Chain A
Amino acid sequence: MALPQQKLDATGARLAAMSLPEGGAWISEARTSARARVEAMGLPHRRDEYWKYTRPETLVEPGAREASTFETYEPTVFGEIDRLKIVFVDGVYDAEASDELSLAGVEIEPLSEAGAKDIHWARDLYGVLETRGQSPVERPLAALNTAYAADGMVIRVTGKAEKPVSLVYLQESTSSDAIFHHVVKIEAGADLTLLENGPAAARLNKVMEVEIADGGAFHHVRTQGRAHERRAATHIFARLGKESVFKSFTLTVNGALTRNEAVIELTGDDAVAHVAGAALGDGATGDFHHDDTVFITHDAENCESRQVYKKVLRNGAVGVFQGKILVKDGAQKTDGYQISQSLLLDDDSQFLAKPELEIYADDVVCSHGSTSGAIDEEGLFYLRSRGVPKDIATDLMVIAFVAEALEEIEDEAIAADVLSRLESWLQRRRG
């Protein structure tokens, strides 16, 4: 089917402005075929059904819009956690600022090095999970990433990682346009916690592909940079083996535009996948548009999936949730749960939700719910009548509202750290 002219033009303009990075045979092949996928699909256009609630133009256009760099004098998140720290500046790995890439139970290599080799195990994953994730819904920005990402981390976990791997994304340039791509392979019975934080760039396109072998576990906690003007399109593609566990939580505050996609496939029996997010947006300090798009496919028996998304929106902030649970024929005893909720602190803010279930097995339990509501006035008055000022009372209720998503973080120290981030964000807003 021929692409509409507008789409062809926009895609052509973007690709013309870029060139494929140099690399070894395996990665060059992956990049070339990814580029062909992009050309065939065309980059997202605002008339695309999948982009109905989020305008893709600024993610698609050739250059990144300017975004001021964000300075903070607070200690950064995860700073107190014992971790292996890996720093990226404007999307480029900074070896000097990073810890040595050595950790018991884990092999870590920059993509630039892995890609320079003629052959590498990452070949079986790089762009592979992304390609699988292109059906039944196309995700052209992810293919664009596979084609043009020059950096990232390639991580293989063979045992229980001694401590979390922490990816820190700094932004120094106001016009940086970063494209990077991580590959994570969790071998059977192995276990890794991956942390991510920081704005990364004025515009970010990030893909992470995660394969979890039987009995493996992957815990992912990220906080997305507080820079107000940054724009980001991120994808996580995960494939889960038997009895494996995948848990991902994202805290987002600020950001002009964020589209976080999670595409998860449960392919082994008894696997567990949880994805959760808390997004807090205040339109008063700049545009805030946050989109969580999730697609979970159950293709094995007795698996569990949970999607828990909470958004707190004020002063014209916009939240989007598109979440799907697809239960394939034969995926019996599936337990699927999905909840997306927004707390609208005023009439200017907006929450758009599209929850979907598609089920081809007969013995499954799937529930989903989506709500949008204002703050409970009775509760607010009760707190105030005890002397709690209105803004603090509101924040207490905001924290209560997002608690269900935060509870998806298993590690207590990390959860406490994320909560304190959230609290200080709220506190700053109180002035």
Chain B
Amino acid sequence: MLEIKNLHVELEEEGKQILKGVDLTVESGQVHAIMGPNGSGKSTLSYVLSGRDGYTVTDGEATLAGEDLLEMEPEERAAAGLFLAFQYPVEIPGVGNMTFLRTAVNAQRKLRGEEELSSGDFLRLIRAKAKTLKIDADMLKRPVNVGFSGGEKKRNEILQMAMLEPKMCILDETDSGLDVDAMKLVSEGVNALRSEGRSFLVITHYQRLLDHIKPDVVHIMADGRIIKTGGPDLALEVETQGYAHLLNEEA
């Protein structure tokens, strides 16, 4: 599904290198987790994959189902099936959540050559999905993320994901800021989407989330590279021992 080879990325302005050769392959239907110390480049990786400005890829490649991601505009990546649940969802005053999501769903359908959803169908769909995530109908009417609590923003990300039905979902610290119940809700939302043709890359600092969303593979990222890959046990190891011994192993 997602294939990243030797990806090197610099900050466009400062020329500072952040990713120093990332190799990562996520098979179709799998859930991979990435853990790693603060500042190791996890969010940068997710931004570069989704096409945010400000980064220069100096080497390497990234493909989604065989298509070169790095050549595409952000909206084309989304239409190709990539979705990033932001670590810090953006507030957009004046743009209604509902308008935004309907525009997004229909724009993707159009780019894929599918028929647009009627407003009635859209409404029914979003109401049903919002309900399972315990998102208030009122929140849907408000401007995108404006005045949402930290946890509400994260739930809103998952609602968008559920509406857009992407093939490759990247979740950047979706668990941070969630209370215990919300974490369960969000995990259930994610698990409900797990399927043959859909993969997940879950960035997290905590084993807790991985109790709910069981990963097939766990990667450790440090200083811009994947330094270790293993099974679910690797996350437990981090939980109890931290990163120090892994970093030393590496050195």
Is the CB of B215 closer than 8 A to any CB of chain A?
no
How many residue-residue contacts, CB under 8 A, span A and B? 83
Report how far A215 CA is from B176 CA in the complex, Å. 56
Checking A377, A378, A387, A392 against B78 with a beta-carbon cut-off of 8 angstroms, the contacting residue is A387
Report how far A377 CA is from B54 CA in the complex, Å. 11
Tally chain B residues at the interface, Cβ within 8 Å.
33
B164/A386 in contact, CB under 8 A:
yes
Report how far A203 CA is from B188 CA in the complex, Å. 65
Closest chain A CB from B167 CB (angstroms): 13
Residue of B nearest to A403 (CB): B94
Is the CB of B93 closer than 8 A to any CB of chain A?
yes
Is the CB of A188 closer than 8 A to any CB of chain B?
no
* Given known A385-B78, A388-B75, A397-B95, contact A379–B107 (CB-CB < 8 A): no
Report how far A384 CA is from B82 CA in the complex, Å. 12
B143/A389 in contact, CB under 8 A:
no
B94/A384 in contact, CB under 8 A:
no
Contact segment of B96-104, B202-210, B236-244? B96-104
Is the CB of A124 closer than 8 A to any CB of chain B?
no
Checking A378, A388, A397 against B107 with a beta-carbon cut-off of 8 angstroms, the contacting residue is A388
Is the CB of A337 closer than 8 A to any CB of chain B?
no
Is the CB of A376 closer than 8 A to any CB of chain B?
yes
Please report which residues of chain B, range 40-71, place their CB below 8 angstroms from some CB of chain A when the two chains form the complex: 50-53
Is the CB of A396 closer than 8 A to any CB of chain B?
yes
A396 surroundings in chain B (CB, below 8 A): 95, 99-100, 103
Overall SS of chain A's interface: helix
* Given known A381-B53, A385-B50, A388-B75, contact A400–B111 (CB-CB < 8 A): no
Residue of B nearest to A402 (CB): B94
Report how far A392 CA is from B78 CA in the complex, Å. 15
A377 surroundings in chain B (CB, below 8 A): 53
Checking A378, A387, A403 against B90 with a beta-carbon cut-off of 8 angstroms, the contacting residue is A378
A129-163 vs B: 1/0 string, CB under 8 Å? 00000000000000000000000000000000000
Tally chain A residues at the interface, Cβ within 8 Å.
22
Report how far A30 CA is from B83 CA in the complex, Å. 69
Please report which residues of chain A, range 362-394, place their CB below 8 angstroms from some CB of chain B when the two chains form the complex: 376-379, 381-390, 392-393
B144 surroundings in chain A (CB, below 8 A): 382
Report how far A296 CA is from B35 CA in the complex, Å. 60
* Given known A381-B74, A403-B94, contact A386–B52 (CB-CB < 8 A): no
A379/B90 in contact, CB under 8 A:
yes
Is the CB of A128 closer than 8 A to any CB of chain B?
no
B104/A383 in contact, CB under 8 A:
yes
Closest chain B CB from A431 CB (angstroms): 15
Residue of A nearest to B90 (CB): A382
B105 surroundings in chain A (CB, below 8 A): 387
Report how far A389 CA is from B97 CA in the complex, Å. 17
A378 surroundings in chain B (CB, below 8 A): 90
B72-92 vs A: 1/0 string, CB under 8 Å? 011101110001101001111
B92/A387 in contact, CB under 8 A:
no
Residue of B nearest to A404 (CB): B94
A385/B103 in contact, CB under 8 A:
no
Is the CB of A401 closer than 8 A to any CB of chain B?
yes
Residue of B nearest to A378 (CB): B90
Checking B52, B94, B101 against A400 with a beta-carbon cut-off of 8 angstroms, the contacting residue is B94
Is the CB of B160 closer than 8 A to any CB of chain A?
yes
Please report which residues of chain A, range 248-265, place their CB below 8 angstroms from some CB of chain B when the two chains form the complex: none
B89 surroundings in chain A (CB, below 8 A): 382
B75/A389 in contact, CB under 8 A:
yes
Report how far A384 CA is from B53 CA in the complex, Å. 12
Residue of A nearest to B54 (CB): A377
B92/A392 in contact, CB under 8 A:
no
Is the CB of A352 closer than 8 A to any CB of chain B?
no
Give the interface centre of B53, B94, B143 by most chain A CB atoms within 10 Å: B94
B164/A385 in contact, CB under 8 A:
no
Residue of B nearest to A381 (CB): B52
Closest chain A CB from B156 CB (angstroms): 11
Residue of A nearest to B74 (CB): A384
Is the CB of A399 closer than 8 A to any CB of chain B?
yes
Closest chain A CB from B146 CB (angstroms): 10
* Given known A381-B52, A396-B95, A397-B95, contact A388–B90 (CB-CB < 8 A): no
State the 10 A-B residue pairs at the shortest beta-carbon distance, nearest first. Answer: A400-B94, A387-B78, A387-B108, A386-B104, A384-B74, A382-B90, A379-B92, A400-B95, A384-B75, A403-B94
Q: Which residues of A come within 8 Å of B, CB atoms?
A: 376-379, 381-390, 392-393, 396-397, 399-401, 403
Give me 10 other A-B pairs in contact (C-beta within 8 A), A381-B52, A385-B52 excluded: A379-B91, A379-B92, A381-B51, A383-B95, A384-B74, A385-B77, A385-B83, A387-B78, A387-B107, A400-B93
